[in-house]
């Protein structure tokens, strides 16, 4: 991750702020600056200037209504840790905000006088703090750069933000790596201290560790709630949550996670082969389809879009397909168990072998839609499943 600090230890902050202001004004006026801004800042200013934002006044702020902010708070994956994060701002001389993955501020804490100053910037709950909305700022730039960002004084695009420092750090879902939001600490520019960066990093690490503990607790609750199922169903099985995380395994050794299950959709599980998932009150029971649970599918090419219907245990499962995905399924059906390599599919779809990367990407997207119906190495329809085509006559 490297050192993303905006100032070096021992820097004269007042002098540095004046120096940055000269750089800011020269660059935005199209003149030659005394020296180039940091590469991170230069990239952001270039993006923001391309958007046509005006640095001389506050650009458009249009905060969400309180009811929508509250709804987002309730549904945010950061809700379980927001309170602990906000407590970092107790008796502090800075503001701490937590945003969602879009850059909308959901929570804010800090001294009342500083909150009032922030209100004049539109730096409050419900406000969108992306680069496109308010110019170069630590939150929006961290979203674009997908990395921690600290900005000092005139490194901000808008002049109204020059009196501030901001230190932002992304928070990720420890299970999936997905971005959940941004934690930002902001305060008067001349109060920036090297410890601020460490404070934000530590807070984010603790929040992600706490999110993992919440995940482990949820899996344990699922395991207990499904204990009667695991104890009465014969044969190998898995109990998993909605995202495929394994709460219990019997008769098979698996990794921590499988593909996300869907009712009626076939699912390929290493060690179990083709499986079907059955809904439980708080998760899924995943078992091998077995010969007695043959999976059949019908691809209707007469409609727009084409429709795939899969029949296994329980209710049939249907999904629309793109024309390209339907064409791939039809080709795999026609080639039989031998399957097709990526170059062979490229020839059949595009007339040459130069589109292998595109073929692999299309297969990956197709498998996200229909699960394990398509197997790989080479590409073929999975064993234990039959496919019927309906074409126009």
pLDDT digits (tens, 9 = 90+) for 248-267: 998 887 778 888 888 777 77
119: pLDDT confidence band, cut at 50, 70 and 90? very high
* Residue ranges per structural domain of the chain: 13-216, 226-292, 294-390
Q: pLDDT value at position 281?
A: 86
Identify the bridge partners of residue 181 per DSSP, sorted by sequence position: 171
Residue 357 in tokens: 């990367």
pLDDT score of 392 more than 90: no
Q: pLDDT value at position 312?
A: 59
Scan for tokens 């079907």, then name that residue: 276
* Cα(69)–Cα(321) distance, integer angstroms: 36
Give phi and psi for 165, each to the nearest 5.
-115, 155
Higher pLDDT, 259 or 124: 124
* Arithmetic mean of pLDDT, 184-204: 96
Q: Would you say 284 and 374 are in contact if contact means Cβ atoms under 8 Å apart? A: no
Q: pLDDT, tens digit, for every residue of 61-98?
A: 789 999 999 999 999 999 999 999 999 998 899 999 99
* Cα(225)–Cα(247) distance, integer angstroms: 10
Instruction: Tell me which range, 198-207, 290-299, 329-338, is most confidently predicted by mean pLDDT.
Output: 198-207
pLDDT score of 364 more than 70: yes
**What is the 3 state secondary structure string of 144-204?**
HHCCCEEEEHHHCCCHHHCCEEEEEEEEECCCCCCEEEEEEEEEEHHHCCHHHHHHHHHHH
* Cα(287)–Cα(258) distance, integer angstroms: 12
Q: pLDDT value at position 212?
A: 95
Identify the bridge partners of residue 273 per DSSP, sorted by sequence position: 269
Higher pLDDT, 377 or 383: 377
pLDDT score of 314 more than 80: no
Cis peptide before 378 (omega within 30 of 0): yes
pLDDT score of 319 more than 70: yes
2: pLDDT confidence band, cut at 50, 70 and 90? low
* Arithmetic mean of pLDDT, 359-364: 90
pLDDT score of 284 more than 90: yes
pLDDT score of 270 more than 90: no
Q: pLDDT value at position 315?
A: 54
To the nearest 10°, report the CA torsion of 346, 331, 391, 266. -120
pLDDT score of 228 more than 60: yes
Give phi and psi for 328, each to the nearest 5.
-65, -45
* Arithmetic mean of pLDDT, 228-255: 87
Residue 207 in tokens: 């929040």
* Arithmetic mean of pLDDT, 322-339: 90
Q: What is the chain's Cα-based Rg?
A: 27
CATH 2.60.40.3880 holds for 294-390:
no
Residue 380 in tokens: 């073929």
To the nearest 10°, report the CA torsion of 201, 203, 208, 213. 150
Cis peptide before 352 (omega within 30 of 0): no
**What is the 3 state secondary structure string of the chain?**
CCCCCCCCCCCCHHHHHHHHHHHHHHHHHCCCCCCCCCHHHHHHHHHHHHHCCCCCCCCCCCCCCHHHHHHHHHHCCCHHHHHHHHHHHCCCCCEEEEECCCCEEEEEECCHHHHHHHHHHCCCCCCECCHHHHCCCHHHHHHHHCCCEEEEHHHCCCHHHCCEEEEEEEEECCCCCCEEEEEEEEEEHHHCCHHHHHHHHHHHHHHHHHHHHHHHHHHHHHHHHCHHHHHHCCCCEEEECCCCEEEEEECCCCCCECCCCCCCCCEEECCCEEEEEEECCCCEEEEECCHHHCEEEEEECCCCCCEEEEECCCCCEEEECCHHHHHHHHHHHHHHHHCECHHHHHHHHHCCCCCHHHHHHHHHHHHHHHHHHEECCCEEECCCEEEEEECCC
pLDDT score of 18 more than 90: yes
Q: 13-216 with 294-390: one CATH topology?
A: no
Higher pLDDT, 289 or 150: 150
* Cα(162)–Cα(156) distance, integer angstroms: 6
Q: pLDDT value at position 381?
A: 86
Instruction: Please choose, from the candidates 106, 102, 101, 94, the residue with its C-alpha nearest in 3D space to the C-alpha of residue 150.
Output: 94
Q: What rounded mean pLDDT belongs to the chain?
A: 90
CA atoms within 13 A on the CB side of 198: 3
Higher pLDDT, 258 or 140: 140
Q: What superfamily does domain 13-216 belong to in CATH? A: GAF domain (3.30.450.40)
Q: pLDDT, tens digit, for every residue of 49-60?
A: 999 998 987 766
* Cα(125)–Cα(100) distance, integer angstroms: 11
Q: pLDDT value at position 258?
A: 84
* Cα(183)–Cα(172) distance, integer angstroms: 11
């Amino acid at each position: 991750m490297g050192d993303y600090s905006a100032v070096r230890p021992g820097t004269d902050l007042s002098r540095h702020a004046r120096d940055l202001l000269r750089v800011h004004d020269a660059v935005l006026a199209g003149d030659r600056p005394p020296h180039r801004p940091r590469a991170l800042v230069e990239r952001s200013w270039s993006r923001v200037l391309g958007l046509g934002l005006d640095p001389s006044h506050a650009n458009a702020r249009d905060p969400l209504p309180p009811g929508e902010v509250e709804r987002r708070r309730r549904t945010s994956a950061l809700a379980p840790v927001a309170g602990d994060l906000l407590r970092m701002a107790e008796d502090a001389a800075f503001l701490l905000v937590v945003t969602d993955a879009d850059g909308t501020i959901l929570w804010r804490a800090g001294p009342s006088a500083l909150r009032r100053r922030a209100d004049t910037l539109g730096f409050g709950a419900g406000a969108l703090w992306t680069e496109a909305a308010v110019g170069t700022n630590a939150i929006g730039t961290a979203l674009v750069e997908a990395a921690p960002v600290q900005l000092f004084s005139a490194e901000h695009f808008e002049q109204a933000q020059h009196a501030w420092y901001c230190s932002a750090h992304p928070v990720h879902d420890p299970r999936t790596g997905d971005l959940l939001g941004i934690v930002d600490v902001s305060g008067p520019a001349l109060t920036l201290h090297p410890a601020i960066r460490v404070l934000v990093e530590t807070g984010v690490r603790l929040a992600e560790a706490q999110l993992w503990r919440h995940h482990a607790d949820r899996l344990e609750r699922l395991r207990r709630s499904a204990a009667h199922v695991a104890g009465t169903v014969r044969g190998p099985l898995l109990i998993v949550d909605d995202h495929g995380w394994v709460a219990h395994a019997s008769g098979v050794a698996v990794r921590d996670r499988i593909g996300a299950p869907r009712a009626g959709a076939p699912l390929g599980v290493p060690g179990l082969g083709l499986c079907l998932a059955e809904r439980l009150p708080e998760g899924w029971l995943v078992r091998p389809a077995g010969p007695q649970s043959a999976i059949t599918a019908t691809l209707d090419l007469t409609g727009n879009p084409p429709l795939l219907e899969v029949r296994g245990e329980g209710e049939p499962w249907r999904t629309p397909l793109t024309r390209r995905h339907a064409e791939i399924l039809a080709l795999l059906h026609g080639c039989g168990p031998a399957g097709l390599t990526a170059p062979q599919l490229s020839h059949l779809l595009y007339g040459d072998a130069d589109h292998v990367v595109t073929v692999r990407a299309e297969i990956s997207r197709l498998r996200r839609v229909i699960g394990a119906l398509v197997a790989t190495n080479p590409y073929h329809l999975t064993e234990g499943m039959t496919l019927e085509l309906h074409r126009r006559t």
